[in-house]
Structure 1
Amino acid sequence: GGQDYYLGAVTDQHGRTLRAPLSFLDLDTTYRAEIYRDAKDAHWNNNPQAYEVTQQTVTANTVLELRLAPGGGQAIRFTPVD
């Protein structure tokens, strides 16, 4: 095992897409990313609680694309894979 890392992002009433390089992760470790993100139909005004949870395997070389709904955000927990 090793250290868990966390990444969070929020936005205002304007949706946006961000690129998130994961270069802060340990270079020699593979991680499971547990991603809590806005659902495709999420919107602060008419569907503020729509979200989905996904997982993927990542490393320090991965660049994630974060799609933030209007008034939304994203939270990711990175856990080392044994």
Structure 2
Amino acid sequence: RRDRNSRDWFLGSITDEHGRVLPVSLGFLEPGVRYRAEIYRDGEGADFRSNPFAFTRETREVTSADLLTVVLAPGGGQAIRFTPL
């Protein structure tokens, strides 16, 4: 979803008790523009039953041509903010 008051984009994903790996095309981003992706994702060993608070924050540069692989832990999720550079 694009922010109404800026050129930022937000992407969120959640899953049930089954972990998943999802390929996500970034084709919704403006072509020719580099973005900083602030990623808040499930950390190593995250699981809603045994390790519900494990998370990792990372930053990377992306474009509309990129494909992200989103790894969701059981009962987990991910949130990403894309800000034009």
**TM-score, reference length from structure 2:** 0.92
Distance 1:62 1:40 in 2: 24
Match of 1:77 in 2: 81
SS in 2 for 1:77: strand
5+ residue gaps, structure 1, are: none
Task: Flag structure 2 segments of 5+ consecutive residues without an equivalent.
Answer: 1-5
Percent identity (aligned) = 50
Partner of residue 29, structure 1? 33
What CA distance in whole angstroms lies between the structure 2 residues aligned with 1:4 and 1:64?
A: 17
- CA RMSD in angstroms, aligned pairs only: 0.8
Matched, 1:60 2:64: yes
User: What is the number of residues matched between the two proteins?
Assistant: 80
Partner of 1:11: 15
Q: Structure 1: which 4+ aligned runs deviate by more than 3 Å?
A: none
Which of 30, 46, 50 pairs up with 2:50?
A: 46
